[in-house]
């Protein structure tokens, strides 16, 4: 099995923001609705694309079923006492804060055409949030192992 691809974006993790809508009026045509991402999401995904492009170093996008692990290393709140800070770093306290885990995972859309052809090839994944001294968003991407049993039973 090939080595996993690790993509790390330093800084506090951010989730994908809600799409915005606007009505576009073109003279002589019926008004239509246009969907777009907010500016902060566009910038964050551009940063993810940049680090992914650097990591792939011109390698063709991955094909086949993929497994993605997402690690969201959240900043430790300044209000934490030294004891609480130590517990957070030991993993005894976990960040039950925004961004939501599913919005963090949605940021992987930035990898379409760079790391993989389309995120439809991701067949399994998880998101883990933890506190860390150095906040970052880290993706570990590798070929998915074949399923040997029904996981629902």
pLDDT by residue (tens digit) across 11-63? 999 998 777 788 888 889 888 888 877 888 889 999 999 999 999 997 899 99
Give the residue numbers spanning the domain of 60.
5-16+36-143
Please count the structural domains in the chain.
Answer: 1
Residue 152 counted as domain residue:
no
Q: Check which CATH number belongs to the domain holding 68 and give it.
A: 3.30.1330.70
Q: What is the per-residue pLDDT across 70-102, written as a single tens digit (0 to 9) for each? A: 999 999 999 999 999 999 999 999 999 999 999
Question: Domain for residue 131, yes or no?
Answer: yes
Strand partners, 132: 75
Contacts with 74 (C-beta within 8 Å, 6 or more apart), sequence order: 12, 13, 95, 97, 129, 130, 131, 132, 135
């Amino acid at each position: 099995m090939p080595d996993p691809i690790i993509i790390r974006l330093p800084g506090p993790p951010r989730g994908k923001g809600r799409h915005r809508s606007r009505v576009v009026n073109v003279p002589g045509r019926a008004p239509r609705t246009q969907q777009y991402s907010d500016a902060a999401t566009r910038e964050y995904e551009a940063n993810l694309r940049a680090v992914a492009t650097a990591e792939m170093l011109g390698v063709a996008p991955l094909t086949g079923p993929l497994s993605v692990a997402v690690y969201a290393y959240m900043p430790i709140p300044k209000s934490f006492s030294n004891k609480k800070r130590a517990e957070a770093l030991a993993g005894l306290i976990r960040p039950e804060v925004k961004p939501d885990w599913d919005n963090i995972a949605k940021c992987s859309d930035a990898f379409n055409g760079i790391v993989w052809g389309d995120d439809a090839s991701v067949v399994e994944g998880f998101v883990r949030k933890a506190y860390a001294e150095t906040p970052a968003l880290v993706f570990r991407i590798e070929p998915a192992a074949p399923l040997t049993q029904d996981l629902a039973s």
